[in-house]
Amino acid sequence: MRVMGRVVLVAAVLWAAAAAGRPCPSGSLSLVPDPVQDEAANFLAGRTCRTPAWRALQETADYQDYVASLETSWAEVEAKRLVPMRTWAAAELAEAGAATETLFYPFGGPDLLTALVLFPNAGTYVLQGLEFVGRTPVFEGESAAARVKPYTQSLLAALSDFFQKSYFITRNMNASLSDDKVDGVLPLLVFFLKRTNHDIASIRRCDLLEGGEVLESDYPGERTRFRRPYGVKIAFFAGGSARLRTLTYFSADFVDSVFRPETAFHRYLEALPFEAAFVKSASYLMHFKEFAQIRGLLLRKSRFILQDDTGIPYRYFTEKDWDIRLYGEYIKPVGDFSGVEQTDLKTAYADPARVRPLPFHLGYHWGTSKDAILFLRRKMNERP
């Protein structure tokens, strides 16, 4: 069926509530979790499951070891990164946060957590990465308990770079998302939703029609890798809230030879009404001519852009068109990247009157914690 926005999602949730025998009083919406997907997400996130089969797996020594390791890593990330990031975003991104209903995060992969923390009030998040979607875990049969340890160890391995450095290293993540290990980025996405106290209402497959329209369907439970671009749409809500929100992740490529104006994914993004774009740890791809299409789309459509120095080069932002705020410290790109140093941005950062402090680390300079974050606000009230 064609997607019909929140009407389809709300109808599905109301049906689920009725099927569960829960009342939906007139004038209100009673949201209930998906009984299958939400339980799998609880298991991944170290939250107490409700069903006997999942509870039995949570009682194993292997799972208890996983939770202990997870809680230690999460507490460190919370204290060092998430708490100061929330405080900073509330003060520095107040206008953008209030105005952003849809956040677009290209090159973000499965990093939903940073998007949720920086833009906590958005109703729609759209992420893109090269990684395949995959599926949430399925533990069945006599070997179910034996699969807990290899699965949870692979999940921790997939998360380790993100916990330590704030971004996923593609080659390391792919090693953890293959074979009989964690299957794709979907487990990571629902993990982040659960760790930020959200419930999963539904998970749907997203395919794109020629004109850029989204075709939603039941998400398959078997191991399947579809041809790009394709995606997954997760409807979620905070516990006790009647507000249904959505995350859409697309497995897609932004190189110009693939991301052309006549393609379905390009047309989808041209029609997507996003207010803010967020870019970090993007391998400086938009510094190169081969990524001119996505760079141009962000410059045309964004009202706000929050990025580190790996995003759109500084030379594309003029003071005539953009209010520019600089945070942190600009230093030469790490050794993995050459030919992308920005002398104009270095000059801008040399003026202490223009630079504001950055109380958290985010990006490739995890060894020095010297990060450059730019917040750009379009001066025009309307987009061109």
Average pLDDT, the chain: 88
**In which band, very low, low, confident or very high, does the pLDDT at 228 lie, cut at 50, 70 and 90?**
confident
Q: What is the pLDDT of residues 276-293, one digit of tens each?
A: 999 999 999 999 999 999
If DSSP codes are grouped into helix, strand and coil, which group holds residue 109? coil
For residue 3, pLDDT over 70 is answered with no
* pLDDT score for 240: 80
CA 285 to chain centre: 18
For residue 329, pLDDT over 80 is answered with yes
For residue 223, pLDDT over 90 is answered with no
* pLDDT score for 203: 96
> Which pair of tokens denotes residue 55?
């509870």
CA 260 to chain centre: 24
Q: Give the β-pairing of 245-251 and 230-238.
A: antiparallel
User: For residue 325, what is the DSSP state?
Assistant: E
Beta strands in the chain (DSSP E): 102-105, 124-129, 198-208, 214-218, 230-238, 245-251, 276-279, 304-308, 322-328, 355-356, 372-378
**In which band, very low, low, confident or very high, does the pLDDT at 38 lie, cut at 50, 70 and 90?**
very high
Give Cα separations from 294 to 192, 236, 285, 332, 363 (angstroms).
26, 28, 10, 24, 21
- Strands ordered across the beta sheet of 304-308: 214-218, 198-208, 230-238, 245-251, 124-129, 102-105, 276-279, 304-308, 372-378, 322-328, 355-356
**In which band, very low, low, confident or very high, does the pLDDT at 170 lie, cut at 50, 70 and 90?**
low
Higher pLDDT, 142 or 136: 136
* pLDDT score for 19: 35
Model pTM? 0.89
* pLDDT score for 11: 41
CB proximity list for 33: less than 8 A, separation 6 or greater: 199, 200, 201
Q: Which of 299, 291, 281, 284 is nearest to 362 (CA)?
A: 281
Q: What is the pLDDT of residues 239-286, one digit of tens each?
A: 888 899 999 999 999 999 999 999 999 999 999 999 999 999 999 999
